[in-house]
Amino acid sequence: MNDASAGGRSGGTELRLVVWQFVRIMVQLENVSRVRGDKRGPSIYREWRTAWVEVDRTLDRLGKTDADAFSDLMMNQEVVLRCHDRTQINEVTRTAENVVAQLDELLRDARGDGQREEDLKYERREMKALVRQLRNLGRPSGGAHRAQGKGKPGGKGKPAGKGKPAAKGKPDGRKPARLARSAGSSGPPSRPRRARKPKA
C-alpha cells in the first residue's frame, strides 16, 4: 500500500512506498544524480539516500541467500519517507513518470513472455496510480488530502518511522518492528538493477 499524507511532527508530507516502488524510484534518481552530479541532482535523492543504501544492501544480501525473504521485502514491506515541500513531491512525481515510461519500454521488449508481461503490467499500473497520488499532493491544496494505493491487490500497509523501512504501528500504539507487512501479496516484480552494477 502506498500512503501519503500531509503534516506530521516535522511538517511536510510523509510517503509510504512499497519497497519495489522505492527501488524503481531510487534507481532512477541515482542515475539522474550521477549524470548531473550530487550538488545539481534531485534534492530528494540526497535526502532519501540513507534509507536507499539500507534497503539496497538488504535486498542484495537476501537476493543471494533467501529468495522468499527477498520477495517478501520487495512486495510486502514499505519504506516511510518525507518530502519537505512541493518541490520535492514534484521531483518524486517526475521520477515516477520516468519509471512508467521505462516500464512501457520493458513491456514492448517482453511481448510473448507471459509472466514477464504480467509482472510489468502490474508494476506499470501501480506506478501510474502512484503518479496520480503524487500529482494530487503536488498541487497547492494537495497537502490536505490523503492518498492511498496498493502494494498488491488487497494489501494493507502499516505506518512507520521516518526514512526507514517501515516499522509497524508507531502512531496507533502497536508494537514497533523494522518492517511493515502488506497482506495478500506474492511474488516480486522484476528487480530493477542499479546502473553501477554489472548485469549478470
pLDDT at 185: 37
34 pLDDT more than 90: no
The burial of 171, by beta-carbon neighbours within 10 Å (0-12 exposed, 13-18 middle, 19 or more buried), is given as exposed
pLDDT at 144: 43
80 pLDDT more than 80: yes
142 pLDDT more than 80: no
What contacts 197, CB < 8 A, 6 or more positions away?
A: none
Interval 107-116: pLDDT, tens: 999 999 999 9
156 pLDDT more than 70: no
Confidence band, pLDDT 50/70/90 cuts, at residue 11: confident
Interval 37-67: pLDDT, tens: 767 777 899 999 999 999 999 999 999 999 9
134 pLDDT more than 60: yes
Who has greater pLDDT, 33 or 67? 67
Question: 174-179: long-range contacts (C-beta < 8 A, 24 or more apart)?
Answer: 179/73, 179/77, 179/78
Interval 158-168: pLDDT, tens: 333 334 444 33
pLDDT at 126: 97
Quick one: CA dihedral 86, 24, 194, 59, positive or negative?
A: positive
- Strands 78-83 and 164-165, how do they pair? antiparallel
pLDDT at 3: 61
Confidence band, pLDDT 50/70/90 cuts, at residue 20: very high
Give percent above pLDDT 70 in the chain: 64
What global pTM score does this model have? 0.70
